[in-house]
């Protein structure tokens, strides 16, 4: 897949380099020559320019891209202009834009952004969730539904997942076991071991009931 990242601040730089590490073709764009130089060896192509109009986007081959990430969030007006050009004039199939606040997000949606990300807000919510939750590494999928991990309760050690029947008892599903930094899928035959970290998914209230074991 081909990606274009416009704006190489901390967010855009990280997105561009990790996409490239994952084997994607990445065109990275910024108006700061020093930033462009620092990323040149990490991506497919690095371009120093300021996106001003439709022609400047066409000149870099934007129409060949599968996804464009508009990461120029600090420049409120510029990010809106670029997003509008991409969606309204060039009809790009997928544009992801970074916003700095909820008003900015609403405007980006109005001009056609397919997805809007508020990195600072989302990270803040995640930190607060993890600090206030009995779980470790809580990942909220919706307001009420999350994926997290818990240390296997002592009463479940030595029993199979089928025997403990988390769904019947708690409406929670075990989707895997975390071993080191990997998540390993397991069947219902899996025998729970001491200190296993169970990856569980369910409504937040049901997950909290599970922690009371």
The string of pLDDT tens digits covering residues 99-115 is 988 899 999 999 999 99
Range of the domain at 190: 133-211
Q: Are 199 and 155 in contact (CB under 8 A)?
A: no
Is the residue at 114 inside a domain? yes
pLDDT at 127: 61
Residues 142 and 42 in one domain: no
Residues 146 and 66 in one domain: no
Residues 109 and 26 in one domain: yes
Is the residue at 105 inside a domain? yes
Q: Are 57 and 90 in contact (CB under 8 A)?
A: yes
DSSP three-state, residue 41: coil
Token couple for 54 = 């439709």
Most confident of 50-59, 88-97, 135-144: 88-97
Residues 141 and 202 in one domain: yes
> What's the pLDDT tens digit per position in 183-202?
889 899 999 998 888 999 98
Residues 110 and 169 in one domain: no
> What's the pLDDT tens digit per position in 62-110?
999 999 999 986 778 899 999 999 999 999 999 999 998 889 999 999 9
Nearest to 5 by CA among 97, 90, 111, 101: 97
For residue 14, which phi and psi values (nearest 5 degrees)? -65, -45
Is the residue at 152 inside a domain? yes
Segment 162-178 mean pLDDT: 90
| b/e burial code for range 30-68 (CB count within 10 A of at least 16 → b) | bbeeebbeebeeebeebbbeebeeeebbeebebeebebb
């Amino acid at each position: 897949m081909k990606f274009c990242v416009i704006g190489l601040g901390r967010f855009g730089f990280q997105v561009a380099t990790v996409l490239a590490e994952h084997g994607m073709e990445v065109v990275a764009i910024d108006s700061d020559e020093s930033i462009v130089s620092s990323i040149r060896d990490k991506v497919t192509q690095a371009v120093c320019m300021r996106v001003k109009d439709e022609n400047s986007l066409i000149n870099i081959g934007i129409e060949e891209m599968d996804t464009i990430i508009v990461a120029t969030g600090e420049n409120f007006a510029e990010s809106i202009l670029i997003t509008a050009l991409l969606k309204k004039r060039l009809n790009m199939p997928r544009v992801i834009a970074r916003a700095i606040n909820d008003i900015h997000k609403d405007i980006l949606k109005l001009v056609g952004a397919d997805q809007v990300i508020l990195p600072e807000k989302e990270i803040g919510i995640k930190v607060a969730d993890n600090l206030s939750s009995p779980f470790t590494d809580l990942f909220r999928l919706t307001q009420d539904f999350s994926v997290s991990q818990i240390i296997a309760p002592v009463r479940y050690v030595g029993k199979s997942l089928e025997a403990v029947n988390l769904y019947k008892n708690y409406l929670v599903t075990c989707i895997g076991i975390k071993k080191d930094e990997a998540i390993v899928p397991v069947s219902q035959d899996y025998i729970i071991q001491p200190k296993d970290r169970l990856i569980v998914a369910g409504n937040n209230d049901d997950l909290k009931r599970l922690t009371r074991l």
